[in-house]
A and B are shown apart, each in its own frame.
Chain A
């Protein structure tokens, strides 16, 4: 084997070096960073699901401040870099309203976009596919949280192999139940009852509510009719009042003042009333 000269250790990537060299940005620096990075990234990939399976994605990547201070300018100087994969023809219909925000102060890059139909409405509930090899952190009616750690070599790491700690937060729609992560299939599943827009429970229980409202309507009508038709009998009738026996306590003299006009029999308004309001005869 004398004379054999093996290649030095090959790495299947050329790190930030490649980008910097090709962009002629900072070749001197490139010589110093050809090795695998010691830096790492943290990512929060938040999926907010609507009630028909559409999703709004907010992907926040937080870099090491020192790394970002040194290389973050490349994101600003090459706006196509972070957007080109999302703009690819293969993403038609899957990436809408795409936006990128680069925050040098916080050393973060935030990507936002919408994906119609991310969750599939299958016979046994709703399913979001594509999350194999994650570890479950939390699952419930409100959200499912997954996490994973990778080494990535892509636009976000400027083609440098870099550790990535990723947390995926799936915000389930209002009213969702039984949020569950199926580790075997890498799918997130949940239940969500369907309510036609603007109709809700009325449409689902139409017969029941029709009967209830009809009965209430009938009863209220009957009550109203009763109240209106019996309006004139409400004051105490003369005959009835006259028939009420006078209760006199033993030992106490009964009231002798007449309660009705002696002449015409019309009820006396009060004891202070001196003349009958009907015939004018004095009560005394």
Chain B
């Protein structure tokens, strides 16, 4: 073997020795930190500030963005977390729910998990004022001896409480913004409630309210006149002492009929419920400081609104003298409502709540 060959072989052998030594060290080190490290999770539970009790069913629908709680789990360790399990409970209102299993959470990975509680029907209907409840988050993972539980406070609004908007004051730029939660109004429209059904059937008796435009229009007039006959009065809304935001105590239609009184919004909701109870498509329009019920005729597609506060004849005559005949007829109230809505539309201050569409989108009536 020549000297040059021996030198070359020596260099190759030294390089191989160094390379294999480094490789062996790295291999052993890689295995060591990858599998035997400690699992380390950062878990943050975020709860919704309030649950709108009137629309409680929507919180159980995972197609809506109305989760009751959200848990953000981040693996900040250097080893995967296996078999992560999580579920939630709303003490007294919903047993363990929204259970999920995440087979593996890798180092650096974040998981966002949501609570969609199916809140107890009977108990939610009993919530008459803002009520704090305990929401519990329970989670476990491989290697943990027993599940970890976190408790968070969450507030149920009273079943009649409606907060107009969740936007911050600085973010309210339009009329619509001030009523950002308007689709929830549809939850107060309860056509299947027993009192509503009974009154609606009586008022619309003998009319073809599903297909005949004239009969639908007649039912609208009868409803207005029928509520007047029941002695329903218009009242100003009480202050919403339970909330620091723009809010209102909203009556369900049965309450309006039983109490024979309501605000403009209560009366509009009540008329919409009575119309829906006999199959007439209805809407509620919001304009500045006011709410007005609207129906849509099934064939022509024409829309009719009515000034429902003028059900209270005394109120109409005392506060709007000369604007109507002494009888304050339904027809006059229809014309007046049309003017009000057209003006509001021209001013850009108008919201139309499509009741049936809101129901379809998950804001189901409480009754």
Q: Residues of A at under 8 Å CB distance from B?
A: 1, 3-12, 14-15, 17-23, 30-31, 34, 52-54, 78, 80-81, 84, 87-90, 92-94, 116-117, 120-123, 159, 194, 196-197, 199-200, 202-203, 206, 209-210, 212-214, 216-217, 219-221, 223-224, 227-228, 230-231, 234
B327 contacts partner chain A, Cβ-Cβ < 8 Å: no
Q: Is the CB of B214 within 8 A of A199?
A: no
B217 contacts partner chain A, Cβ-Cβ < 8 Å: yes
Our pick among A197, A202, A227 for the contact of B108 (Cβ within 8 Å) is A197
Q: Is the CB of A21 within 8 A of B6?
A: no
**Which chain B residues numbered 96 to 123 have a C-beta less than 8 Å away from chain A?**
102-112
Closest residue of chain B to A53, judged by CB?
B109
Using a Cβ–Cβ cut-off of 8 Å, how many residues does chain B contribute to the interface with A? 78
* B171 contact set on A, CB distance < 8 A: 80, 84, 87
Min CB distance A93 to B, Å, is: 4
Question: In whole angstroms, what is the CA distance A80 to B173 when docked?
Answer: 9
Q: Is the CB of A203 within 8 A of B34?
A: yes
Instruction: Provide 6 A-B residue pairs closer than 8 Å at the C-beta atoms, listed in order of the A residue.
Output: A14-B349, A80-B173, A117-B74, A197-B107, A210-B27, A221-B13
Question: In whole angstroms, what is the CA distance A54 to B106 when docked?
Answer: 12
Min CB distance B264 to A, Å, is: 18
**Which chain B residues numbered 1 to 44 have a C-beta less than 8 Å away from chain A?**
1-3, 6, 9-10, 12-14, 16-17, 19-21, 23-24, 26-28, 30-31, 33-35, 44
Question: In whole angstroms, what is the CA distance A17 to B294 when docked?
Answer: 22
Given contacts A14-B175, A194-B106, A224-B17, 20 further A-B contacts (CB under 8 A): A6-B304, A7-B342, A10-B294, A10-B303, A18-B348, A22-B348, A52-B110, A87-B171, A89-B166, A90-B67, A94-B112, A116-B74, A117-B74, A117-B110, A121-B103, A194-B80, A206-B31, A216-B16, A224-B10, A234-B2
B317 contacts partner chain A, Cβ-Cβ < 8 Å: no
Question: In whole angstroms, what is the CA distance A171 to B236 when docked?
Answer: 56
Question: In whole angstroms, what is the CA distance A20 to B189 when docked?
Answer: 32
Q: Is the CB of B173 within 8 A of A22?
A: yes
B130 contacts partner chain A, Cβ-Cβ < 8 Å: no
For the A-B complex, the count of residue pairs with Cβ-Cβ distances under 8 Å equals 199
**Which chain B residues numbered 269 to 327 have a C-beta less than 8 Å away from chain A?**
294, 302-305
Question: In whole angstroms, what is the CA distance A94 to B67 when docked?
Answer: 14
Min CB distance B245 to A, Å, is: 13
Q: Is the CB of B26 within 8 A of A202?
A: yes
* A122 contact set on B, CB distance < 8 A: 102-103
B239 contacts partner chain A, Cβ-Cβ < 8 Å: no
Known A196-B34, A206-B30, A217-B21; contact A7-B110, beta-carbon cutoff 8 A: no
Q: Is the CB of A93 within 8 A of B27?
A: no
Closest residue of chain A to B108, judged by CB?
A52
* A21 contact set on B, CB distance < 8 A: 347-349
Q: Mark B333-344, 1 if CB is under 8 A from A, else 0.
A: 011001001100
Question: In whole angstroms, what is the CA distance A51 to B1 when docked?
Answer: 53
* A11 contact set on B, CB distance < 8 A: 352
Q: Is the CB of A92 within 8 A of B20?
A: no
Q: Is the CB of A4 within 8 A of B348?
A: no
Question: In whole angstroms, what is the CA distance A89 to B10 when docked?
Answer: 68
Q: Is the CB of B348 within 8 A of A117?
A: no
Q: Is the CB of A18 within 8 A of B175?
A: yes
Question: In whole angstroms, what is the CA distance A122 to B109 when docked?
Answer: 12
Closest residue of chain B to A20, judged by CB?
B348
Question: In whole angstroms, what is the CA distance A17 to B341 when docked?
Answer: 15
B95 contacts partner chain A, Cβ-Cβ < 8 Å: no
Closest residue of chain B to A214, judged by CB?
B24
* B6 contact set on A, CB distance < 8 A: 227, 231, 234
Residue in A18, A223, A228 with the greatest tally of chain B CB atoms within 10 Å: A18
Q: Is the CB of B14 within 8 A of A220?
A: yes
Our pick among A12, A22, A228 for the contact of B174 (Cβ within 8 Å) is A22
Q: Is the CB of B33 within 8 A of A199?
A: yes
* B12 contact set on A, CB distance < 8 A: 220, 223
Q: Mark B50-75, 1 if CB is under 8 A from A, else 0.
A: 00000000000000010100101010
Closest residue of chain A to B339, judged by CB?
A5
Our pick among A6, A18, A224 for the contact of B302 (Cβ within 8 Å) is A6
Question: In whole angstroms, what is the CA distance A116 to B106 when docked?
Answer: 13
Q: Is the CB of B334 within 8 A of A121?
A: no
* B9 contact set on A, CB distance < 8 A: 223, 227
* A197 contact set on B, CB distance < 8 A: 78, 107-108
B354 contacts partner chain A, Cβ-Cβ < 8 Å: yes
Closest residue of chain A to B357, judged by CB?
A12
Q: Mark B347-363, 1 if CB is under 8 A from A, else 0.
A: 11110101000000000
* B146 contact set on A, CB distance < 8 A: none
* B105 contact set on A, CB distance < 8 A: 121
Q: Is the CB of B352 within 8 A of A84?
A: no
* B174 contact set on A, CB distance < 8 A: 18-19, 22, 159
Q: Is the CB of B110 within 8 A of A202?
A: no
Q: Is the CB of B20 within 8 A of A22?
A: no
Closest residue of chain A to B14, judged by CB?
A224
